[in-house]
Amino acid sequence: MNKPFHIKHQDHLKLYVLLKDKIRFEDVMNRKQIPFYSEINEQPDIAEGIRYFILDTDRGKVDKLLIENDIIASTETISNYDFRNQKKFYKVYVWAAIIITLLIAIGLITEFVFYS
């Protein structure tokens, strides 16, 4: 169902899906028989996501599918960003800050107890 070019010439929504969610998104769309069009060769940069053309009449169904399947997508005006990828980095950053703070506190307590 990936080649109904007629969608581009009707009232449509441009949806950008991250590359990591491409297979899952297309699978869900095909299972639910929702027509979509995407031509990756027409898109010079896929860093912002792969562009899909979806009929305006299917917008509600697609929104529901995106939420149910935890797929990150955006429109042309609102760029997508997967904050879940940054979550792991922030955990490491927080733990490093806690350890450094504890080491400084232990050093200050040790200095106060033994050298005062």
Q: How far apart are alpha carbons 53 and 46 in whole angstroms?
A: 15
Question: 21-34: string of b/e by CB count within 10 Å (b at 16+)?
Answer: bbeebbebbeeeeb
pTM: 0.63
For 12-70, how does the pLDDT look when each residue is reduced to its tens digit (9 = 90+)?
Answer: 888 888 888 889 999 999 999 999 988 777 777 777 788 888 988 998 999 999 999 98
Q: Reply yes or no on whether the pLDDT at 74 is more than 90.
A: no
Q: How far apart are alpha carbons 59 and 81 in whole angstroms?
A: 20
Helix, coil or strand: residue 52: strand
Residue 3 pLDDT: 63
Arithmetic mean of pLDDT, 60-86 = 78
Q: Which residues contact 26 (CB under 8 A, 6 or more apart)?
A: 2, 36
Residue 104 pLDDT: 96
Residue 88 pLDDT: 74
Residue 97 pLDDT: 94
Q: Reply yes or no on whether the pLDDT at 79 is more than 70.
A: no
Q: What angle do CA 21, 22, 27 make, to 5 degrees?
A: 100
